[in-house]
Structure 1
Amino acid sequence: MISSIKRFLIGRPLKSTALGEQKLSKTKALAILSSDALSSVAYGPEQILIVLVTLGTLAFWYSIPIAIGVLILLAALILSYQQIIFAYPHGGGAYVVSKENLGVNPGLIAGGSLLVDYILTVAVSVSAGTDAITSAFPSFHSHKVVIAIIFVLIITILNLRGLTESATILAYPVYLFVLALFILIGVGLFNVLTGKVSPDLSAPLGTPVAGVSLFILLRAFASGSSALTGVEAISNAIPNFKDPAPKNAAKTLMAMGTLLALLFSGIVFLAYYYGISPRAEVTVVSQIAEETFGRNGMYYFIQGTTALILILAANTGYSAFPLLAVNLAKDKFIPRMFTIRGDRLGYSNGIIILGVASILLIMFFEGQTEHLIPLYAVGVFIPFTLSQTGMMLKWIREKPTGWVPKFIINTTGALISFTVTIVFFLTKFDRVWPVLIFLPLIIFIFHRIRRHYEAVGDQLRITTCEPAVPIEGNVIIVPVAGITHVVENSINYAKSLSPDQIIAVYVSFERDDEKKFEEKWKNWQPDVRLVTLHSHYRSIIQPLTKFVDTVEHKASESNYQVTVVIPQFIPKKGWHNILHNQSSLLIRSFLLYRRNVIITTVPYHLKK
């Protein structure tokens, strides 16, 4: 039944040879890898205005030069990540660049930041989209945590079905959002040019504003730069592209940067010219749409596609998180299970872990994840800064043809990204301070995992491990609970291994039972030695493990191997297991960690 449900939700398994069919075209990749960056248009311009409104509405004209600064940073990041794509065509993005050029720990800082950031991407995006839906339908507000979890489950299942299938489904809402905003911006600009919007709604550029300072402008710039989250995702996901992967990834990155620049600048300009002020209950995009179209079908189309893109922005995390995890796992910093492809050829373990972690985050914050946005943004700008700095060192060290313009681009990106990071720490320390705790903790865990893998490899390597001691014989212990076909099956198997060294062990709770069983055994299996152990506290495990330890100690002196053969019957139906004590599983669990004891389970399958 479980297998049938899995097949229904995920689909039939794909052969490994079908991997090429799961690669993404530029059109589909743009949709699923750009959804996070494009969705930030819905809140990035608003973040600028939220800071400027503290100076009054006259200060809104500063949103124009601030937006230009954001666009300069965007251009530097796009050009830089294009260079990263061609320099590191196997993916990994900021993690690989930082590790190879700055060292292991900077690489782990970048990788750890992005892993956490992709979890935050899913939680924040889905919660924001859910808020948009519950704003339109207030009766659902009390169920927003459940709704958000359902959305996470749906996106998780879609991604488990494979890249191509999920991209085909999720591409439509993304492109509808882009179309809706282009229509909004186009009609809005037409209204401005034709004089339908009064110029008196906005203060002229250059209007003096009392109380303005460089610190406030930098704070607004840093807040607006939150619109650039997700820009790095394409460089992490190069292996998902059709060949030639680096070339297609670079073109997709440029298309994403162009769309993001046009949409961001359009919304900022319209918000300024319309004199839009940020309001808690209505978003800036919603206000622009209402001013442009009124409350008609077009307005609701824009609101609907905005809610969808906010939810689907989570898909960027599902596309980039598993591939980043693969790179970390190959370097032995996280469990190797992240390198395993699932039935549909996706890295399903990474997809499932991301979904579970996001759901836990949504439940912990009860869907109120908007306070995580600064942490979410600073978690991106730390890798931005490290990757740009790493590329600077790469160009200085290698000095390839035409390296100076590339160096200037990376230097510009590094300085601006570092400035944004510092401003976040200075202005929103109360929300970003957890990064100072979880990053060192994550790096410590990374190193502990790698140390474990190195220790395991060293112990398993034939050239370095201790030579195996030759085995002279085998002592077989068979725990028995009665005279049954299950025990008979196990005794017969034990005889096939070592007919002269078999010890049957019976643990009794009552003295009378002990004597009766000894008599029955002598009549049934006279050639097999029986040892009876009395348990004063009605425990099977304690006397049995003590006996096994005693036998193992004596056997090791003669280079004999101790094998415990555990009889176990297997019910015909799975639910029947809850009707039995599962003593065999308990014995196996306790004996499994005995260093020189081999555990063998002999199953006996019941027929009804």
Structure 2
Amino acid sequence: MNASRRGGDEEPGLPHPSELLPPLDPEQLDVLAELGRRWPRLAPYRPRTYEALPVDPDLGEFRRAEVGRGPFGRLAPIGPLAPPRAEDREAEDTTDAGPGGAPTPLHRARRLLLGAPLRSTTLAHESMRKLVALPVLAADALSSVAYGPEALLTVLVLAGTAGLDWALPIAATIAFLMLAVGLSYRQTIRAYPHGGGSYIVASDNLGRVPGLLAAGGLLIDYVLTVAVSISAGIAAVTSALPALRPAVVPLGLAAVALLLLGNLRGVRQAGMIFAAPTYAFLIAVLALVVSSLADAAHRDFVPVPPTLPHATEGVGVLLVMRAFASGSTAMTGIEAISNAVPAFRPVRWRNARTTLTWMIGLLIALFAGVVASAHFSGVVPGGGETVLSHMARLTFGPGFLYGYTQAATAAVLLLAANTAYNDCPRVLHLLARDDHAPHIFQRQGDRLAFNNGITALSATAALVFVAFDGETAALIPLYAVGVFLAFTLSQAGMVAHWHRRRTEPHRRKNLLFNATGCVLSGLVLVTAAITKFLEGAWVALLAIAVFVVLASRVRGHYATVRAALRLRPQAVTHVDARLPVKDAVPEEAGAREEGPACRGEEEETPQQVRHLTVVALAVLDLSGLRALAYAASLGQPLLALHISPGEDEADRFRDYWDRWGDHVPLHVVLSPYRALIAPLVHYIATLHAERPDLTITVVLPEIVPRHPHHRLLHSHDAARLRRALRPLPKIVITEVPFHVP
């Protein structure tokens, strides 16, 4: 379900816990019921499992600590699974604790760095006023003023004075492009009031492949946003402190590490952190532009002759096109507000449109002002100093105002990278939801952040940053292609959207705005692809093409797995052909068992072993039913266990279980913090503490793809569970493989 069709005010891209349990259609429910009717013929031990179960499966629940208010939302530590007692005090968080509930050193370090976990019911993103939303969501776009004009001038200066004469006309053209794209995104906000990112709009209106192309462009954009913002921020620091220039790469990697840690902690939810540096940057640049233009006015706007290196190129169409494409990178981040409409206070879409209008106005004023100021003051790129730094030094001198400008620029650039940390993991989640990316990107961590997406973005951005030695000018050619590919496809999708809605009011006006934005964005895309191809744009184009191919292959693999696991009528025929063989292991099960050989267990003869089999099930598909069948064939007391992140999913799983026939005792453990392994470990550890004389066999279904590289697309919970339970005696982990082509 796309965000445009979501109801309510939920934030797009934020999954409801029950989404992780795939729904069963009517045909699968009928097959499940039919298989359940045949179960007693397969496993005639039902009275034994119910009446002779050696433990009470209801061991209590996770202790509910008092929920308090903290700087990052509502915090609630997890307690160990045990019967609640009135005298219990607030329990210590044991999400990563050992089997006995005692916190491990790794757990303590994790909690120190990341903080306590957040419940799934925690409000993950509070509504924002427009004055708060502007610095939060516009930091990326507004901060691009620090490197966009410089990228434009860096190309024009190659042609000397004749090239710099084109600075103002090109800047005016880019300002018009900003206005056109901004107006077209206003229409997108109105049409997609629950958030309309380029991937969603293109997929909804143009199809799967255009949606993947837009997603590929967005992901390239997000990676480069982090790399470029950090490189530009470090450049601002080294312009003021030249002694730090040899340490550009280490400083950049440290900034990536801080962003990674901050986002894993959930700092992205504390939007007020953006307000101060963004407004400080706005004040600094506006003061710089006004002061510089005032000085130019005293000279009757006669430009100061710049000190130029020897011209290496002549003024031609190709040079102008390259400068236009480079300067257009100042438009990055314009789409951020349309992605986050639900973050605003009601009326959400109206407040989002107003904030977008403010952002476009400020962006045009700052961009045009910086280019004009540089033109009249004779500032050109070079000398190991940024254009903004050179202008501030000339205008304000080397005193407090210069230091303030550089500090504000560095701060807003480093924080602007956080826009990518908000949006990139959400796009990966949407891709994973549609089977175009590994499903691990759907999972939320302790702090309600998409930890896997955040980590992947940090690692990729760090590699790109190191590969280009932190040079902003070297990274810019890669930037424009991904940005404007997403812009173009999003606006083309909106054209198709309005074309189909012929009865919509103001349809023709909206279509005209979006068509204009589409054409202009497409022109920039083609220009950037042609003029920047040999400078690095080919890398971005190749990366997008590889992404589309990989995403399609991933979807094909998941489609194959889903078809193999689907409950279908042939499964009933397959069962009938093999009835009845009691205590027989299914041919394809081939279970692999591991168990510790601990001293003192004194179970050298079969008569001394007392069994309990626990089948851990996430879903009721063919692999889950095969694991149940294998466990039942052992003829030992049997218990099914399901870890659920919420009551809705738990109720849905119980309904499926009842439809199957409730042939095995089922216990559902609620995990309000979305963890899977830790609750399962706590449950098994508690069973072991209750009955240390039992040998507990934990049976897990395992999907085994034919190709080894496909294993990256599936979880490895069995290995993690084995490592976690290894310290406990008399615990056996059994995997029942289900092979898929």
C-alpha separation in 2, matches of 1:466 and 1:164: 47
Q: 1:326 aligns with which of 429, 440, 445?
A: 429
C-alpha separation in 2, matches of 1:365 and 1:487: 62
The answer to whether structure 1 residue 256 and structure 2 residue 359 are counterparts is yes
Pairs aligned (count) = 517
Q: 1:319 to 1:25 in 2, by over 3 A?
A: farther
Q: Which residue of 2 aligns with 1:335?
A: 438
The answer to whether structure 1 residue 406 and structure 2 residue 529 are counterparts is no
Alignment of 1:38-437 (within 5 A): 38-162=142-266, 165-193=269-297, 195=298, 199-201=302-304, 212-368=315-471, 370-399=473-502, 400-430=504-534, 431-437=536-542
Q: 1:488 aligns with which of 595, 603, 606?
A: 603
- Give yes or no for contact 1:459–1:465 (8 Å, CA) kept in 2: no
Instruction: Report the residue type matching 2:603 in the other structure.
Output: E
Instruction: Report the residue type matching 2:728 in the other structure.
Output: H
C-alpha separation in 2, matches of 1:25 and 1:257: 18
Instruction: Report the residue type matching 1:281 in the other structure.
Output: G
The answer to whether structure 1 residue 441 and structure 2 residue 546 are counterparts is yes
- Give the % identical residues: 39
Q: Which residue of 2 aligns with 1:10?
A: 114
Displacement of 1:435: 2.9
Q: 1:461 to 1:77 in 2, by over 3 A?
A: same
Displacement of 1:225: 0.7
Displacement of 1:396: 2.1
Q: 1:81 to 1:496 in 2, by over 3 A?
A: same
The answer to whether structure 1 residue 473 and structure 2 residue 587 are counterparts is no
Q: Secondary structure at the match of 2:166?
A: helix
Greater share of helix residues, 1 or 2? Answer: 1
CA distances 1:546-599 after superposition (whole Å, capped 9, x unpaired):
xxxxxxxxxx9xx96699xxxxxx9xxxxxxxxxxxxxxxxx99x99699xx99
Q: 1:71 to 1:188 in 2, by over 3 A?
A: same
Q: 1:7 to 1:214 in 2, by over 3 A?
A: same
Q: Secondary structure at the match of 1:31?
A: helix
Q: Which residue of 2 aligns with 1:30?
A: 134
Q: Which residue of 2 aligns with 1:574?
A: none
Q: 1:344 to 1:249 in 2, by over 3 A?
A: farther
Instruction: Report the residue type matching 2:259 in the other structure.
Output: I
Q: 1:67 to 1:485 in 2, by over 3 A?
A: same
- Give yes or no for contact 2:220–2:540 (8 Å, CA) kept in 1: no
**The 10-residue stretch of structure 1 (422-431 or 454-463) with the greater mean CA deviation from structure 2:** 454-463
- Give yes or no for contact 1:170–1:312 (8 Å, CA) kept in 2: yes
Q: Secondary structure at the match of 1:313?
A: helix
Q: Secondary structure at the match of 1:172?
A: helix
- Give yes or no for contact 2:152–2:324 (8 Å, CA) kept in 1: yes
The answer to whether structure 1 residue 462 and structure 2 residue 567 are counterparts is yes
Q: Which residue of 1 aligns with 2:555?
A: 450
**The 10-residue stretch of structure 1 (278-287 or 175-184) with the greater mean CA deviation from structure 2:** 278-287
Q: 1:248 to 1:340 in 2, by over 3 A?
A: farther
Q: 1:371 to 1:302 in 2, by over 3 A?
A: same
- Give yes or no for contact 1:478–1:491 (8 Å, CA) kept in 2: no
- Give yes or no for contact 1:174–1:309 (8 Å, CA) kept in 2: yes
Q: 1:493 to 1:156 in 2, by over 3 A?
A: farther
Instruction: Report the residue type matching 1:605 in the other structure.
Output: L
Larger Rg: 1
Displacement of 1:212: 4.1
- Give yes or no for contact 1:94–1:383 (8 Å, CA) kept in 2: yes
Displacement of 1:314: 0.8
Q: 1:154 to 1:243 in 2, by over 3 A?
A: farther
Displacement of 1:98: 1.3
Q: Secondary structure at the match of 2:497?
A: helix
Displacement of 1:487: 6.5
Displacement of 1:228: 0.5
Displacement of 1:493: 8.0
Q: Which residue of 2 aligns with 1:534?
A: none
C-alpha separation in 1, matches of 2:433 and 2:200: 12
Instruction: Report the residue type matching 1:31 in the other structure.
Output: P
Q: Which residue of 2 aligns with 1:605?
A: 728
C-alpha separation in 2, matches of 1:592 and 1:405: 52
Q: 1:28 to 1:164 in 2, by over 3 A?
A: farther
- Give yes or no for contact 1:197–1:274 (8 Å, CA) kept in 2: no
- Give yes or no for contact 1:458–1:464 (8 Å, CA) kept in 2: no
Structure 1: 5+ residue stretches without partners: 204-209, 499-555, 564-569, 571-587
Q: Secondary structure at the match of 1:16?
A: coil
Instruction: Report the residue type matching 1:376 in the other structure.
Output: Y
Instruction: Report the residue type matching 1:115 in the other structure.
Output: L
C-alpha separation in 2, matches of 1:373 and 1:447: 28
- Give yes or no for contact 2:141–2:331 (8 Å, CA) kept in 1: yes
Displacement of 1:332: 1.6
Q: 1:9 to 1:496 in 2, by over 3 A?
A: closer
Q: 1:231 to 1:39 in 2, by over 3 A?
A: same
C-alpha separation in 2, matches of 1:25 and 1:464: 54
**The 10-residue stretch of structure 1 (176-185 or 469-478) with the greater mean CA deviation from structure 2:** 469-478
CA distances 1:358-405 after superposition (whole Å, capped 9, x unpaired):
223333444346422111121101111111222122222223222222
- Give yes or no for contact 1:342–1:348 (8 Å, CA) kept in 2: yes
Q: Secondary structure at the match of 1:605?
A: coil
C-alpha separation in 2, matches of 1:418 and 1:309: 29
- Give yes or no for contact 2:528–2:537 (8 Å, CA) kept in 1: yes
Instruction: Report the residue type matching 2:583 in the other structure.
Output: G
Instruction: Report the residue type matching 2:434 in the other structure.
Output: D
Displacement of 1:162: 2.5
Instruction: Report the residue type matching 2:443 in the other structure.
Output: I
